[in-house]
Every structure is written in C-alpha cells, then in structure tokens.
Amino acid sequence: MPAEVVAQLEERVEGRAQLRIYQSAPLDPGTPVQPPVMRYAEFQDGTTYEAHVYGRRTESIRWLPNASLNSVAFDRMLAVHESPLRRLEVVEIPLSGKPAVEICPVSGNTALATSPTESIAEDVVVKAHGDIIYLCDGCHVSLFVEQVARLEAQGEGVTGGMQRFTGVLPASLFTLLGELRVLHIPLTFADPNTILVSEAKCYEVMRDVSDFFYRASYGRLTAHATVTLPIKLPHNEAWHMQKDSTEGFSKEFDALGLEHAHAREEARKLGYDSGNFDTVVARLTGRVAQR
C-alpha cells in the first residue's frame, strides 16, 4: 500500500514487554472507580502504552515481566491479542534485522529460515518476543503457544523444580486451587508522610478478600496475606499527580508503575521479596490512589 495510506493505519507492535496490571477499590463503594482495572505495557525500548486485553489475558492479575505481546497501537493505546505469538501469513516477507530462530522450540529439529527478501512459502513461521521462529511442523504452533503462555505466567528459570498445582489437571496457568500468596504494602507520600491505615486494618481487608475467594471457589482457593511495614515514596503527592494526570495515563511514564516498583524495591530491603508472592497490593491513600 502507499506510504500515505499506511501512515493512517494502526501500528503493529510486537515484542518483549512488561505487562503491568492495576486494580483499584473506591473509598466510597457508592462511587466506583472508572476504570476499575488498568493495564500498561512497557517494551524493551522504554515505550509505554495503555494496554487493552481480552480472552485469557483478562484472567491474570499478576505482573508479567517477560510477556510476548502481539498487538497493534493507535497513539498511546495498545490492543493486545490474547495469543503470545503471531503466525506469519504465507507470502509475507519477514522483516530484515529481526532475529531468526531456526531450531524448532517444540521438536528441537532444524528448520530452514526464509531469506529476508523472499516471501514465506509455508504456514509454519511465527513471531514471539520479537523473534521470527521457524517450526518444523504446522501442528507445533498450538503447542508452542501453550509453551510461551506458561512461561509468561510462571516466569523464566522456574521450570527446573517443583511447581504448585494451580488447578485441575492439566493445571491452569493461573492460581485456581490452594493458597494465593499476597504481599500487602501500605504506602505514603513524602508529604504528609502519614499512614492513614493501620496494620490491623490491612489484615482485616485481606481476611475479607480471602473469605470471598473461599466462598466463591467453594472451598478450593483462599488467600494468605503478608503486610509489610509502611513505605514512604520518594516524591510528594503533587509530583505524582502531575506525572499521572491524563486519565490515569502518563505520557512520560507509567506513574503507577513507579509507585509499585519503589514499593517492591523497599519491601525487598525489609526482607519481603515480591518474587515469592503471587500478587502484590500497594495500598496508597490519597488523590492518586482514589482515582
């Protein structure tokens, strides 16, 4: 298509990114927060988008530090496909400069790569984590999708040891059975540096959450919370409001992500490694938290 036409279309964005999710609860139940769930995707080059997902990705409440995103962007909005990879179409020409993997990740056999100047002849080429991957058989595509999706949910470097059951066999990618481990971090701004919620209140809220999970799952799932000491953010509330003032999305960076990252870093110094928990709750009282 002509360049002037392509410029008006959505931009295809694919590659390795950190997919972050935020869920909010209003101080007043009568005035719910809109939207109650927000997601941001930050790619390796630092570009951040407000992400919109569907399908299996709506079921996850965990941050995915190594997600393979197959998406399209319009301005700063990102529409993310539920599949972690994209199957290249026949006659599509692979983009030059993209890493090509000629070893089939399913069978381990070598599959010959197509020249960057030639179109694909067979429907056995996929794109995941920004790499072009050649499979030796078309039936391996669905198996590779499951492999990449499971690696996203579990994280890299954890497949060598025992794993907890997350659901009835075959196990689900997300925690459906047993105990959901929650790290609860109370935060405060540099000003007024006042914790408006007590440790007892945090545990009370999480007991209600655990009771909800237990009842909704008919006794199959519960939550166990660990509440840290209060953590102070390095900047005041006005600074965060300025950075996060465009409908919850900052053109400079994900301000909510900065708060979460600082909370996790300080909690780790206190001996609470967020990597040992299934989900992290950062409780922040103020205008930013209420939005």
- What confidence score (pLDDT) does residue 37 get? 86
Assess whether pLDDT exceeds 80 at residue 221.
Answer: yes
For the chain, the C-alpha Rg in angstroms (whole number) is 22
Assess whether pLDDT exceeds 80 at residue 225.
Answer: yes
> What confidence category does residue 69 fall into, taking pLDDT thresholds of 50, 70 and 90?
very high
- What confidence score (pLDDT) does residue 53 get? 94
Averaged confidence pLDDT in the chain: 78
DSSP string across the chain = --HHHHTTSPEEEEEEEEEEEEE---SSTTS--SSSEEEEEEETTS-EEEEE--GGGGG--S-EEEEEEEEEEETTEEEE-SSSEEEPPTTPPPPTTS-EE-B-TTT--B-PPPPTTS---SS-EEEETTEEEE-SSTTHHHHHHHHHHHHHHH-TT-TTS-----SSSSPPSS--SEEEEEEEEEEE-TTT----S-HHHHHHHHHHHHHHHHHHTTTSEEEEEEE---EE-SS-HHHHHHHT-BTTB-SS--HHHHHHHHHHHHHHHTT--GGGSSEEEEEE-SHHHH-
Q: Where are the domains of the chain?
A: 10-82, 85-154, 164-291
Secondary-structure class of domain 10-82 per CATH: mainly beta
Tell me whether residue 121 is exposed, middle or buried, using C-beta atoms within 10 angstroms of its C-beta: 0 to 12, 13 to 18, 19 or more: exposed
Q: What is the pLDDT of residues 78-103, one digit of tens each?
A: 999 999 999 888 777 776 667 788 88
Assess whether pLDDT exceeds 90 at residue 140.
Answer: no
Least confident of 42-56, 117-131, 194-208: 117-131
- What confidence score (pLDDT) does residue 169 get? 41
Residue pair 129/83 in contact by the 8 Å Cβ criterion: no
Average pLDDT score over residue span 247-273: 74
- What confidence score (pLDDT) does residue 168 get? 46
- What confidence score (pLDDT) does residue 288 get? 40
Residues of the chain with pLDDT > 90: what percent?
A: 15
Of the two residues 214 and 243, the one the predictor is more confident about is 214
| Distances 31 to 27, 64, 85, 284, 291 between C-alpha atoms, Å | 8, 30, 39, 18, 11
| Distances 116 to 12, 91, 120 between C-alpha atoms, Å | 19, 12, 9
CA distance 101 to 250: 36
- What confidence score (pLDDT) does residue 113 get? 67
- What confidence score (pLDDT) does residue 241 get? 72
Assess whether pLDDT exceeds 70 at residue 245.
Answer: no
Q: What is the pLDDT of residues 4-57, one digit of tens each?
A: 766 677 788 999 999 988 877 766 777 776 778 889 999 988 889 999 999 989
Of the two residues 43 and 192, the one the predictor is more confident about is 43
